[in-house]
Structure 1
Amino acid sequence: MPLRRQVLLLAAAFTLSAPAAFAATDAALKAAIASPTRPAADVARDGARHPYESLIFWGLKPKQTVIEVSPGGGYWTAILAPYAKATGGTYVAGVADLANPKLSEGARKGRADFEARFADEAKYGKPQFANFGPVSGPLGAPGSADIVLTARNVHNWTVQPGVADKVFADFFAVLKPGGVLAVEEHRADPRSEKAAGADGYLNTATVIAIAEKAGFKLDAQSEINANPKDTKDHPFGVWTLPPVKRTAPGGQPADPNFDRSKYDAIGESDRMTLRFRKPA
């Protein structure tokens, strides 16, 4: 076959395969988001968290290995695990480090409860679980993941010396060349003089610097999760806002006289949505 015809056929195949791949992603992702297995409280937050738009921005595709680090209450797990099941992919949750002898009993129980919640193979397939923490080992085999996702967690690592550098290095190591680091984080006023992460907010430049130090390149930024109503000057930091709705300093009893109306009207925080890439 003449070389020119081979090139034209390859180009045509690519042109046809790209829309087909997106259609597969689109249908499976919409089905996972619409699933009746998702908790009603999670579904109620979709207007603030924009799961479809965020995951499309981060480049989610069928058959990928996605590692979510510190999944919290499982908002993303309840979408990504069924999506992985439906598309031949793998979902891995980086959760409490059971190999750490200093891990609290509460954290151990939290991990056990999390694993039990997502143990139903008919709903969630076979999620995997990896040890994650300040002194944990690798998240997986080097170069084994297509996407590492972490949502609203980076501020927790910046308040502990050296931890942010360690965990971003872990992310870099486990991703394939060309793989994506997906970050959602509460976005600080760039003029803020508060200690990084102390109130739950971080400057975008801070997050980018941490990622670039680990070897990542910023691929794109999105305003999907922006909230211009967030003034970022709340009495109990970002936790004053929904969904936490704190009414007293951390560790103290809730204040029944605290007026929440102003903060509930703001809604969830203003957040950066970033896509980093590991150089190929």
Structure 2
Amino acid sequence: MTRRHLTAALAAMTIGATTGGLGLGGAGAIAAAPKVPANITAALADKARPEADVKRDAARHPGELLAWAGVKSGDKAVDFIMGGGYFTRILSAAVGPKGHVWAYQPSEFIKFRAAYGEEQKTVAGAYANVTPITAPFGELKLPDGVDLVLTVQNYHDLHLKPFPADNAAKLNAEIFRALKPGGTYVVVDHVGPAEEGTPDKLHRIDPAQVKKEVEAAGFKFVGETDLLRAKDDPHTANVFDPSIRGKTDQFAMKFRKP
């Protein structure tokens, strides 16, 4: 099963280029593209990265994004909903042997697409400093004292209809607990309209909703970057629609645990 069919599958079961910023307000300003430090440059050049991943770099700007996130050698990081491991691999090499990465894959996703489980095993087996975490959303327990939690193009999944209404709130609370004081939570997702059902219909989410929810967990909004903005995206098409796939307007917001 492909990810574009994930919502439909979950619903069938019962389970407990650049433009201006988003104008979300708060203390954070729009950040310019930062210089990519040596640890992240080396991670991007890692020969173990699949060629398919490397080809996606031009659109995903992983170097600039992780530099903006502040990823350093020795960091402890969580790739929250790792998917195929695109960012897990880069984070692993960027934090280096003195750092560590936990790669979380929700059990619900693996149940409906076995390849997610296989991809998690492959990445964890290839990098000594990567530990896989597999658990249902409602039972997730992250490691203590991490420096960074990164979630890319997945926050909207926390709002898929089969999940409880408080799913995102509980997961944000767990992320807040796991991060050390001063730790960073970075959320990247497809920009969607402020309409009920947007995550299920379009696999997008309203950035203002994300900011409100994350701040409600106790986080402080630091700022945003326009690295992944795309002015030609009308925000009305499903992200898997061929007309927009790979070219969506995406927000990237950074929060900090006080």
> TM-score higher than 0.5 here?
yes
What does the per-residue CA deviation read over 1:227-263, in whole Å, with 9 as the maximum and x for residues that have no partner? 11212222xx1111xxxx4xxxxxxxxxxxxxxxx44
Q: Percent identity?
A: 29
Of residues 270, 275, 279, the one that matches 2:249 is 270
TM-superposed CA distance for 1:57, in Å, is 0.8
Give the match's secondary structure for 2:184: strand
Give the match's secondary structure for 2:171: helix
Which residue of 1 is the match for residue 155 of structure 2? 154
TM-superposed CA distance for 1:117, in Å, is 3.7
What TM-score do you get using the length of structure 1 for normalisation?
A: 0.72
Matched, 1:52 2:52: no
Letter in 2 for 1:195: G
* Residue pairs, 1:1-280, within 5 angstroms: 26-86=37-97, 88-97=98-107, 105-106=111-112, 110-120=116-126, 124-141=127-144, 144-159=145-160, 160=163, 161-189=165-193, 192-198=194-200, 199-234=202-237, 237-240=238-241, 245=242, 262-263=243-244, 267-279=246-258
Taking structure 1 as reference, are residues 132 and 228 closer, same or farther at Cα in structure 2, changes over 3 Å only? farther
Asked if the contact 2:103–2:120 (Cα under 8 Å) also holds between the matched residues in 1, the reply is no
Taking structure 1 as reference, are residues 105 and 270 closer, same or farther at Cα in structure 2, changes over 3 Å only? closer
Structure having greater relative contact order (Cα 8 Å, sep ≥ 6):
2
Taking structure 1 as reference, are residues 36 and 216 closer, same or farther at Cα in structure 2, changes over 3 Å only? same
Give the match's secondary structure for 1:140: coil
Letter in 2 for 1:61: K
TM-superposed CA distance for 1:208, in Å, is 0.3
Q: Single out whichever of 27-36 and 206-215 deviates more from structure 2.
A: 27-36
Larger Rg: 1
Equivalences, count: 221
Letter in 1 for 2:96: K
Asked if the contact 1:187–1:272 (Cα under 8 Å) also holds between the matched residues in 2, the reply is yes
What does the per-residue CA deviation read over 1:191-229, in whole Å, with 9 as the maximum and x for residues that have no partner? x53524121111111000110111111111110110112
Structure 1 unmatched runs, 5+: 1-21, 246-261
Q: Following the alignment from structure 1 to structure 2, what is the Cα–Cα distance between the partners of residues 118 and 81? A: 10
Letter in 2 for 1:176: K
Q: Following the alignment from structure 1 to structure 2, what is the Cα–Cα distance between the partners of residues 137 and 195? A: 25
What does the per-residue CA deviation read over 1:59-107, in whole Å, with 9 as the maximum and x for residues that have no partner? 1111110011110011101211122335x2111111234xxxx886556
Q: Following the alignment from structure 2 to structure 1, what is the Cα–Cα distance between the partners of residues 187 and 135? A: 17
The root-mean-square deviation of aligned C-alpha atoms, in Å, is: 2.3
Q: Following the alignment from structure 2 to structure 1, what is the Cα–Cα distance between the partners of residues 100 and 123? A: 17
Asked if the contact 2:192–2:236 (Cα under 8 Å) also holds between the matched residues in 1, the reply is no
TM-superposed CA distance for 1:188, in Å, is 1.7
Structure 2 unmatched runs, 5+: 1-33
Q: Following the alignment from structure 1 to structure 2, what is the Cα–Cα distance between the partners of residues 116 and 35? A: 16
What TM-score do you get using the length of structure 2 for normalisation?
A: 0.78
